Amino acid sequence: MGSAFSSFLGSLPPLRDFILPTPQAYTTLLNIFQYFPVFSLAQWVVSWHPAGKGSYQSSWLNIPGKLGWFIMEIVGPVNLLYILYKLPPMLNISSLPLSNKLAASLYVIHYVNRAIISPFLAAPSMSPMHATVVTMAVLFNWLNSTCLAGWLVGYHVPVLGYKTDGTVSGAQGGSSRYSPATHFLPCLGMVLFAAGMIGNIHSERTLFRLRREAAEKRDAAKKSDQAITQNEDEDHPTFIQASSSSSSTDANANANDKKNNKYAKVYVIPPARGVFRSILYPHYVFEWLEWLGFALVGTAVFPTRQALAFSSPPLQIAPWLRPAAAFAEKLQVPLPLPAVLFVVNAVANMLPHARWGRKWYVEKFGEKAVAGRGAAVPWCPWL
């Protein structure tokens, strides 16, 4: 076992080749990242996720919510743009085809909203995030953005058993790089990406608005109670000695947090209407729709002639990716493998969180308030 692991490590490219990926390093990262769904199976049995609703009240490893969210989300676009900018001149941003630039732009636009606008301009508050969660998210986004960057500069990895470069064989005048689907699928992808992003933003902003309204009502009720209590105390003054117990200290710390931000730890269950009529996490589903559209836009991203001059070792893709390879081969379009990985891995990562989130809603508000809604699958109590 040890010798096999040592042999594997010895076959890896140098570390610097992963920072600015060479074709071999790019293939290695794809091979690793395609098996993320296997590792994500642990999330189905372990509810531990110390962030958001499940965050710890106090831990020395906690990172302020908005800062932690910014760190883990900004890694993706920064790394993508860095790689596109720093690779050799014949592969830099200005030399890329329009379709490659479009795909890169869609990715960056999504993450500008996720890393900056959503936490700092839209969210009323964000609970502390454990450093472990932030670290794992940073690793995911770095892997994902590195694979996407290698794809967008034109690297092509031959997929064993499939023809996935998008070349149309038998075309008049010889081989052609375009098929009718190459024009239709990217247009459909743009529509799906736009619809998904709009739906994602609308769903999140609805949750933020409901939290603000609940916090305002609670704050108004608290002030009203304090006014009544103050009037009663003026007539019947009493004195209470403060306790120095550790539990009292934690309670005071939590109270101070809420005093500093009245929106902290205010959670509501969305009413069963609109995009929340049948599911509790429509923002997840809309994000998956975004990345499905992104993958379809990617069917217009062909390997560049400059990148084809570099040799990439062939890849044996995971069984759950073979339908996508067969689909690309049948329609004679390029297989946007990193974009397909993004869709699959996003679902594999977020679906178990949605399932545990539905369980939290049931425990917090009751099954009656959940109203039979699924987490991400309409009217499915388990999903």
If DSSP states are collapsed to H, E and C, what string results for 24-52?
HHHHHHHHHHCCHHHHHCHHHHCCCCCCH
- Other Cβ atoms less than 10 A from the Cβ of 173: the count is 5
Name the band, by pLDDT with cuts 50, 70 and 90, for residue 4: very low
CB 26 within 8 A of CB 157: yes
How large is the average pLDDT for residues 68-88? 93
Q: For residue 244, what are its two tokens?
A: 């120095």
Q: Which of 257, 260, 261 is nearest to 57 (CA)?
A: 257
Name the band, by pLDDT with cuts 50, 70 and 90, for residue 263: confident
- Looking at the DSSP assignment, which residues form a beta bridge with residue 63? 129
How large is the average pLDDT for residues 198-225? 88
Cα separation of 233 and 14, whole Å? 72
Query: Which of 146-160, 214-228, 311-325 bottoms out in mean pLDDT, i.e. has the lowest?
Result: 214-228
pLDDT at 179 over 70: yes
**pTM as predicted:** 0.87
Helix, strand, coil shares, percent, the chain, to 5: 65, 5, 30
pLDDT at 321 over 90: yes
Name the band, by pLDDT with cuts 50, 70 and 90, for residue 238: very low
CB 350 within 8 A of CB 358: no
CB 208 within 8 A of CB 121: no
Predicted local distance difference test score (pLDDT) of residue 150: 93
The residue to which tokens 């636009």 are assigned:
109
Phi, psi of 129 (to 5 degrees): -120, 135
Cα separation of 89 and 70, whole Å? 31
Predicted local distance difference test score (pLDDT) of residue 94: 76
pLDDT at 187 over 80: yes
Query: Which of 72-86, 297-311, 333-347, 362-376 bottoms out in mean pLDDT, i.e. has the lowest?
Result: 297-311
Q: What separation, in Å, do the N-terminal and C-terminal C-alpha atoms of the chain show?
A: 38
Average pLDDT in the chain: 85
pLDDT at 232 over 70: no
User: Who wins on pLDDT, 87 or 28?
Assistant: 28
How many CA atoms are closer than 13 Å to the CA of 257, on its beta-carbon side? 17
Distance set, CA 191 to CA 187, 198, 289, 291 (Å): 7, 11, 10, 11
Buried-state track 327-359, b at ≥16 Cβ within 10 A, e below 16: bbbebbbbbbbbbbbbbbbbbbbbbbbbbbbbe
Q: Which of 19, 27, 20 is nearest to 11 (CA)?
A: 27
How large is the average pLDDT for residues 166-195? 81
pLDDT at 230 over 60: no
Q: Each residue of 104-125: pLDDT tens digit?
A: 999 999 999 999 999 999 999 8
